[in-house]
Amino acid sequence: MVGAGALLSAVALVERVPRLVPAHEYVLCHASPTLDRLTLTALGLVLAAAVAAVAGGITAQSRRLSHPVLPVVWLVVVVALLVAADGVDAHGEALAAHRAATGFTAGACDYVPQEYGATPGWFFW
């Protein structure tokens, strides 16, 4: 079951690569440090899920399982972290959609507009 957690983490990381998965593109006139933080938070949660899967595998094999539910607990932790990552991504997409909806004129931006690509998650559409 812990191997499934590692596989889920790997797939969650791949789904966040805009070149591999079709992304919703938003054009923003002004830079958004909030969106940058949300992106890093979501990637951190995916990384934490991968670490939890590996830690669960090491824990399950390093000693005799007194409770056979231990791998299931680790899998639940991995899934919870991935759901949280998709939630953070969904919040970032909503924020980008709100900021992109205000529109902009060519003269209003003092630099090249920032593009924000939001990839759909499994748990939030």
pLDDT at 104 over 70: no
Answer whether residue 22 is part of any domain.
Answer: no
Q: Confidence band (pLDDT; 50, 70, 90) for 111?
A: low
Answer whether residue 64 is part of any domain.
Answer: yes
User: pLDDT value at position 48?
Assistant: 93
Q: Tell me the pTM.
A: 0.80
Count of domains observed in the chain: 1
Answer whether residue 113 is part of any domain.
Answer: no
Answer whether residue 120 is part of any domain.
Answer: no
User: pLDDT value at position 115?
Assistant: 77
Answer whether residue 115 is part of any domain.
Answer: no
User: pLDDT value at position 110?
Assistant: 59
Q: Residue 111, Cα to own-chain centre: how many angstroms? A: 28
- Residue 100 belongs to domain spanning: 1-16+49-104
pLDDT at 125 over 60: no
Q: How far is CA 76 from CA 44, 102, 116, in A?
A: 17, 40, 31
Answer whether residue 23 is part of any domain.
Answer: no
Answer whether residue 57 is part of any domain.
Answer: yes
